[in-house]
Chains A and B, each alone.
Chain A
Amino acid sequence: MDTTRVNSNFKSEEYFINMGPQHPATHGVLRLLLTIDGEIIKKVEPDLGYIHRSIEKMCERDSYQQIVHLTDRMDYLSSHINNEAVCLTVENALELEVPERVKVIRTIIGELTRIASHCLWWGVMGMDVGALTTYFYGFRDREMVNDIFEETCGARLTMNYNIPGGLMYDIHPNFIQRTKDFVAHFKTKIPEYDKLLTGNVIFQKRMKGVGILSKEDAISFGASGPVGRGSGYSCDVRKHHPYSALDKVTFNESLKTAGDSLARYEVRIMEMWESLSIIEQLIDNIPEGDYKVATKAVIKLPKGEYYQKVEAARGELGVYVISTGTKNPYRLKFRSPGFSNISLLNHIAVGGKIGDLVASMATLDIVVPDIDR
């Protein structure tokens, strides 16, 4: 019997769906072109560019002080860390030594940013797998961090608190107390997160063994941050190339070797604990001193190429500057973590169901303006 003819009677057709740019699970304006066979994903093509604002080109127009505030708008959930990256690049190029106080404050606020970002990610993660309540619990705790930022920096999201050479203002007198209150509060909340979502049998089933990314693939796709560390790729910039005050604190790099969605989830939960411990080590030991060193009104970097990488909440953020000695960079390139991480979406989602795609996309923790810039 001719089997091919029999099968052709039952041949299932692949079809094609546009997921996004307006879709609840794509967190903004990411468009995914899905090729699906029934419920099973055959191919995912991310289509980018819906929120491209040519930030890199704008940077060529602006002076180095002005570039900092543009980076707020890239990965808006780790805006402080983005600012810090640009400032560190400029300071390194100028061979400017910033006071210890600045370094410590930058590190504390950076870790607070990471916690705030992971809080939001946790809430959205729950929402993507269908548990809507997590969103509000995540936001409750994130609000506290945002209040700390608002009091010290004046803004909740696009803070622009760093300037080349230090900080824009000194920390607010309430900063230390508020941060301590938050650390005490948040220590009781992470176990609650675990109870509500991590331990849940449905959640475990949705996450375990789904979206597997091997260590080799993680490296070859350029994965960084919790995505890479979930696959056992030790890539924490804070550990390998410490910047600011991170060489003075002890913390563990959160590593998981499973490489599935659950591993990426757990790495982020572990990172929240590590960030709390970093904050606790530093908050009582903020050295006295100036909050900035004077720089020239017009900063001109010496001719040359400069690269600085930091660990943003989503992974490795690199700033690459080519200077020709003028007050603007000749070319400025951001190596953003989201862009590399989204490239492996096809790799981890193929063969899964639509629900798996949404769940593993949530563990990549996509921020679309970071991908498009």
Chain B
Amino acid sequence: MSYFSNIYNGIKSLLTGMSVTGKVFLNARKGTITQQYPENRETLKMFDRFRGEVVMPHDEDNEHRCTGCQKCEIACPNGSIEIIWDRVVNPETGKKKKEIDQHIYHLGLCTMCSLCIEACPTDAIVWAQNYENSVYDRSFLTKVLNQPGSKLMDGVED
């Protein structure tokens, strides 16, 4: 007798399984979860906290907030941040002060751990929500974050 109940239960379980996929099949038009990626570029919006790449925001006067304290360079586990700095004499006060020449960011080495941004005392670097990071040559992955000719914003201290 168990022979027939086995067959019955077996067929029943198969039909239950088919009902699940069948339901999805019938709702295929609206149930689709695929994103049409290159087409939806315009509407695709990343979350605010998305870690795309590290950028250094500049204001309209081409001023950034980086004092060159190198805390981000120390915090980085992979050595993806290099800061080239110099001590420059401030013409007004006459004091020698650290000033960045180049804030170099190697995107190719970055693991997006966010430690540099947490370490930054002046919020000079932030995450950008840029998700298209692929380039044709890896030399493009080495970026200089401060714009040429930019200088430190007034009033920003360590």
Per the CB under 8 Å rule, do A and B touch in the complex?
A: yes
* Chain A CB within 8 A of B140 CB: no
A323 at interface by CB-CB < 8 Å: no
Contacts of A366 in B (CB 8 A): none
Contact between chains at A196 and B75 (CB < 8 Å): no
The minimal Cβ–Cβ distance linking A97 to chain B, given in whole angstroms, is: 21
Could you say which residues of chain A place their CB within 8 Å of the CB of B13? 199-201, 204
**Chain A contacts for B127, CB-based, 8 A:** 154
Report the separation of the CA atoms of residues A152 and B10 in the bound assembly, to the nearest whole angstrom.
Answer: 45
Q: B47 contacts A154, CB within 8 Å?
A: yes
Task: List residues 15-58 of chain B with CB under 8 A from any CB of chain A.
Answer: 16-17, 19-21, 24, 33, 46-51
A220 to B20, CA, bound (A): 41
Q: How far is the CA of A140 from the CA of B111 in the complex (A)?
A: 26
Within 8 Å of chain B (Cβ to Cβ): is A216? no
Q: Pick from B47, B75, B112, B118 the residue with the most CB of A within 10 Å.
A: B47
B51 touches which one: A140, A154, A200, A201 (CB < 8 A)? A154
**Once A and B bind, how many residue pairs between them come within 8 Å at the CB atom?**
75
Residues of chain A contacted by B10 (CB below 8 angstroms) = 201
Q: How far is the CB of A66 from chain B (nearest CB, A)?
A: 4
Q: Say whether B19 contacts A195, CB under 8 Å.
A: yes
Asked if B70 is at the interface of the complex by the 8 Å CB criterion, the answer is no
Is A143 a contact of B113 with CB atoms below 8 Å? no
A:132-183 near B, CB below 8 Å: 133, 136-137, 140, 143, 150-155, 158, 160, 163, 168-169, 172
Cα distance A155–B114 in the bound complex, in angstroms: 10
Given A69-B111, A69-B115, decide whether A151 and B20 contact each other with a Cβ distance below 8 A: no
User: Are A133's CB and B50's CB within 8 A?
Assistant: no
Taking the closest CB of chain B, its distance from the CB of A206, in whole angstroms, is 13
> For A72, what are the chain B residues with a Cβ–Cβ distance below 8 Å?
113
The residue of chain B having its C-beta at the shortest distance from the C-beta of A191 within the complex is B20
- Interface of chain A, main secondary structure: helix
Does A129 lie at the interface of the complex (its beta carbon under 8 Å from any beta carbon of B)? no
* B14 engages A201 (CB within 8 Å): yes
A140 and B33 contacting across the interface, CB-CB below 8 Å: yes
Take A195-B17, A195-B19 as given contacts and tell me if A153 and B49 are in contact as well, using a CB distance cutoff of 8 Å: yes
Q: Is B108 an interface residue (CB 8 A)?
A: no
Given contacts A151-B49, A154-B127, A172-B49, contact A66 B17 (CB under 8 A): no
Q: How far is the CA of A232 from the CA of B137 in the complex (A)?
A: 54
Asked if B133 is at the interface of the complex by the 8 Å CB criterion, the answer is no
Report A195 CB to chain B, min CB distance, Å.
5
Q: How far is the CA of A68 from the CA of B118 in the complex (A)?
A: 14
Q: Is the CB of B50 within 8 A of A154?
A: yes
Bound together, the chains give a CA A192 to CA B13 distance in angstroms of 12
**B9 at the A interface (CB under 8 A):** yes
How far in angstroms is the closest Cβ of chain A from B35? 10
A-facing mask of B95-123, CB < 8 A → 1, else 0? Answer: 00000000000000001111100110000
B20 touches A196 (CB 8 A): yes
A163–B115 Cα distance when bound, in Å, is 9
Q: Which of B10, B71, B119 has the most chain A CB atoms inside 10 A of its CB?
A: B10
Of B16, B21, B75, which one neighbours A199 at CB under 8 angstroms? Answer: B16
- A150 touching B111, Cβ below 8 Å: no
| CA of A68 to CA of B75, assembled, Å | 12
Tell me whether A200 and B14 are in contact (CB under 8 A).
yes
Q: Is the CB of B111 within 8 A of A133?
A: no
The answer, yes or no, to whether A62 is at the interface (CB within 8 Å) is yes
Residues B33 and A143 in contact, CB atoms below 8 Å apart: yes
For the complex formed, measure the closest distance between the CB of A30 and the CB atoms of chain B, giving whole angstroms.
Answer: 24
**CB-based nearest B residue for A205:** B10
Do A66 and B114 have beta carbons less than 8 Å apart? no
CB A357 to nearest CB in B, in angstroms, measures: 24
> Which residue on A lies nearest to B71, using beta carbons?
A297
Bound: A199/B47 CA distance, A: 39
Partner of B114, one of A143, A152, A160: A160
CB neighbours (8 Å) of A172 from chain B are 47, 49
Known: A140-B33, A196-B17. A150 touches B50 (CB 8 A): yes
On chain A, the residues within 8 Å of B118 by CB distance are: 163, 168
A154 proximity list for chain B (CB < 8 A): 47, 49-51, 112, 114, 127
The 7 closest A-B pairs by CB, nearest first: A69-B113, A201-B10, A66-B77, A154-B49, A154-B51, A196-B20, A151-B47
New A-B contacts (14) at CB < 8 Å, excluding given A163-B118, A196-B17, A199-B16: A66-B77, A66-B115, A154-B127, A155-B50, A158-B113, A160-B112, A160-B114, A160-B115, A195-B16, A195-B17, A195-B20, A200-B14, A200-B17, A201-B14
- Can you list 15 contacts pairing A with B, beta carbon distance less than 8 Å? A65-B115, A69-B111, A150-B46, A150-B49, A151-B47, A154-B112, A158-B113, A163-B118, A168-B114, A172-B49, A195-B19, A196-B21, A199-B13, A199-B17, A201-B10
